[in-house]
Amino acid sequence: MKFTPQAYRNPDLSMKNFIDKDEIWDFINKTKTTTITVQEVIAKSLNKERLNLNDVAVLVNAKEPEQIEMIKAGATLLKKLVYGNRIVLFAPLYVGNLCANNCKYCGFRASNCNAKRKTLNDQELYENVVALEENGQKRLILVFGEHKNYSAQYIADTVKKVYDIKSGNGEIRRVNINAAPMDVEDFKIIKEAAIGTYQVFQETYHPDAYKEYHTSGKKADYDYRLTALDRAQEAGIDDVGIGVLFGLYDWRFEVLSLVRHTNHLEACYNVGPHTISFPRLQNALNLNIDDKYLLSDEEFTRIIAILRLAVPYAGLILTARESAEIRKEVLQYGCSQIDAGTKIEIGAYAEKFKKEQELDKEQFQINDSRSLNDVIDELLEQGFVPSFCTACYRKGRTGEHFMEFSVPGFIKRFCSSNAILTLAEYLEDYAPEHTVEKGWKVIEKNILELDGFQDIESVRSRIERIKNGERDLYF
């Protein structure tokens, strides 16, 4: 079915505050939810029609256990239809934690005198990227504190250095960025470095709550942060990621606001977010904020299912903030990307010995510290295909081009076969024997499921070439 946008393209809408808190609360407070309306909304999503705010309000207002199970079942089916069995893997690499902002929930806030500050020098950057490559990572997101030292040129130079680092068969093929909002000219500078996705989170979309948590620094400017991705689009960066930090305000408001932000990007640029993230507030150094809006596990898992139904084409990112048990459960509801082998202490990937987390060196506490291979093992046992694929970005399938084939549900045409090829590389280069055995069984099963989407023999031919030493083969 054809994608139905929420509004016609209108560039005049860009660069303006598009969040009306009263409008969003009206949707939440005035929308009635019944089992029948839940069924209707799920059917609409499965028909690959984008949900509007009223539809999403129906889902967030569902309270009956039967309705919630319907939402999760619908999301599970939709994920299978759109994404198949693949799960994209990446690692975050914190480059520096200098920060000029004061965000009450963050261990890196400027006023936190107990935080130990560090920025990787060139040698340390090299050592950490090599360590990641030698574990099998192919996709990184570089994380920078919001500070004048981390200028657009500095970020661009760092990205280029990461791309240039090679170790054996290891290489980083996609570098995404999580960094401070910029103006259009600065966004153009980082685009020149061939970044992948530019990611910035609003943290909370409620303006009054936002003001309460962000007490000083440039991040205190709600509107400037809200329109960051408009400036990125104007600069030609058409692959962007949005998100909120759940636990700062009412989750229902935040979910509708994420969809509203998605609608805005579609209306202004005909390109929605490539990814949506939903980190949950975790412990941090000297954290002292109200726990009024903290989420239960049940609410958190429901949010993921609702977001999958609301924006079928967007990648949903689940991070190591969550425990291994929660991550295992919610993968089925719609998540398509996870980090693995995660270390968020600056420079920690190059350290030879595992140690306990030190919150004075980290932004927040993580709850899944398993190795990359341990995560891959579990994914294989669940029947998923761990993927390091970066083909869409390098083939120019971003922005409107990505929307053209992802929105109708054609992602599997390229991504499932490419996921298999990157898994084959991992099995050949990095995996221990017990993982190799499981991995080839999963590959064989999923090759058979490609029939109708991709020529099976061409996939098998590329796998043989990988076994014979070729690398970086993709459709």
User: Residue-wise pLDDT tens for the chain (475 aa)?
Assistant: 333 444 334 545 556 789 999 999 999 999 999 999 999 999 999 998 889 999 999 999 999 999 999 999 999 999 988 888 999 999 999 999 999 999 999 999 999 999 999 999 999 999 999 999 999 999 999 999 999 999 999 999 999 999 999 999 999 999 999 999 999 999 999 999 999 999 999 999 999 999 999 999 999 999 999 999 999 999 999 999 999 999 999 999 999 999 999 999 999 999 999 999 999 998 888 887 888 999 999 999 999 999 999 999 899 999 999 999 999 999 999 899 999 999 999 999 999 877 788 888 888 889 999 999 999 999 999 999 999 998 876 777 666 656 555 555 556 667 889 999 999 999 999 999 999 999 999 999 999 988 777 789 999 999 999 999 999 998 8
Q: At what angle do helices 21-30 and 251-269 cross, to 10 degrees?
A: 120
What pLDDT is stored for residue 5 in this prediction?
40
CB 265 within 8 A of CB 272: yes
- Let me know: does 293 contact 248? Beta carbons within 8 Å: yes
Distance CA 65, CA 69 (A): 6
HSE-CB for 205 with a 13 A CA cutoff = 27
pLDDT at 59 (0 to 100):
98
Q: Give pLDDT, residue 202.
A: 98
User: Helices 65-83 and 35-46 meet at what angle, rounded to 10?
Assistant: 0
Q: Are 295 and 247 contacting, i.e. CB atoms less than 8 angstroms apart?
A: yes
pLDDT score of 447: 93
Q: What is the DSSP letter of 167?
A: E
Is-contact 301 326, C-beta < 8 A? Answer: yes
